[in-house]
Amino acid sequence: MAAKRTAPPPPPPTPNPIPNRRALASGAGSASPSKRMLAFHFLRALSRISSATPVACRTRTIRRAAYFSMARAASPRRSWSRALLRQVRVRRAVRSRRAVLMRRRVVSAAPAPPLGVRSISAGQITSAPLAGAPPPRQAGEPARADALRRLVPGGGEMEYCSLLEETADYVRCLRAQVQLMQGLVDLFSGQ
C-alpha cells in the first residue's frame, strides 16, 4: 500500500474544473447536445468505480464504463446504442451464469461455455457474429461493408443505408468520448 501520507498540494478549489466544464459546454452547443450527458454518465460511472473495484481489472471496467455511458448518452433511437446496451446486459447475465458453471465444473465435468460467450467475455465491444444469419446484401454494397458491420455494434443486421447512418453517429460519439477522456486524463495528470 504505497499510500502517500503527505497530501499533495491542493489545487485551486473551484476555478480548475470550470474551464473544463466550459469547454464541454461550448462543445455541446456546436456538435450535439449530448456532450454534457456523456460527461455526466461517464463521470458518474468513474466515481462509482473509484470506490468499488479492485485495481487489477480496473482498466477493463473503465473501458466498459466508457462504452456504456456512450450508449446511454446517445439517443435510444440509434440502434448501435441499443445493441451496446444489449451487449452489456448479455455480458452480465453471462458472467453470472459462468460463475455458476465454474462452480459446477469443479464438482462435475460440465460442458464448456460456447465460443460466442468467450468472445464477449474477452472484453470485445464489437457485435458478436451471428451464426446462420447472413447480413442482407444490397445492390451496390461493396465487400468492405462487412468489415464495417463487424466494427459497429449491432451492424450485423442492418441494411446498408442505415449502416452508413449508424456509422456516422457512432464515429461522432466515439470522437466525443475520446475527447472527454483525454480531457479527464489531462485534468488528472496536470494536478
Partner 1 sequence: MSSRRSRASVSEEEINELISRLQTLLPSAPRRGSSSQASTTKLLKETCSYIKSLHREVDDLSDRLSDLMATMDHNSPGAEIIRSLLR
**Contacting residues toward partner 1, per CB under 8 A:** 3-4, 7-8, 10-11, 13-14, 16-17, 20-21, 39-40, 43-44, 46-47, 49-51, 55, 58-59, 62-63, 66-67, 125, 138-140, 142-145, 147-148, 151-152, 159-161, 164-165, 167-168, 170-172, 174-175, 177-178, 181-182, 184-185, 187-189, 191
152: DSSP letter: S
* Amino acid at residue number 74: A
Grid coordinates standing for 132? 446462420
Smallest gap from Cβ 186 to partner 1, in A, equals 10
Q: What does the block give as the cell for 101?
A: 458453471
Under 8 Å between Cβ of 156 and 129? yes
Q: Name residues whose C-beta falls within 8 Å of residue 81's C-beta, 6 or more positions apart in sequence.
A: 70, 71, 72, 74, 75
- Distance in angstroms (rounded) separating the CA atoms of residues 87 and 92: 8
* Shortest separation between residue 109's beta carbon and partner 1, angstroms: 36
Nearer of residues 113 and 165 to partner 1, judged by Cβ: 165
Q: How many residues does the chain have?
A: 191
Q: Looking at beta carbons only, is 17 or 114 nearer to partner 1?
A: 17
Nearer to partner 1, 108 or 189 (CB): 189
Q: Residue 66 CB, nearest distance to partner 1 (Å)? A: 6
Minimum separation from the CB atom of position 135 to partner 1 (A): 14
Q: Which is nearer to partner 1, 100 or 171 (CB)?
A: 171
Q: Nearest Cα to 191, choosing from 7, 10, 6?
A: 10
Q: Decide: 75 and 165 in contact? Cβ < 8 Å.
A: no
Task: Quote the least distance from Cβ 132 to partner 1, whole Å.
Answer: 19
Nearer to partner 1, 79 or 94 (CB): 79
Nearby residues of 150 by Cβ (< 8 Å), 6 or more positions away: 126, 127, 129, 156
Q: Which three cell numbers stand for residue 103?
A: 462452480
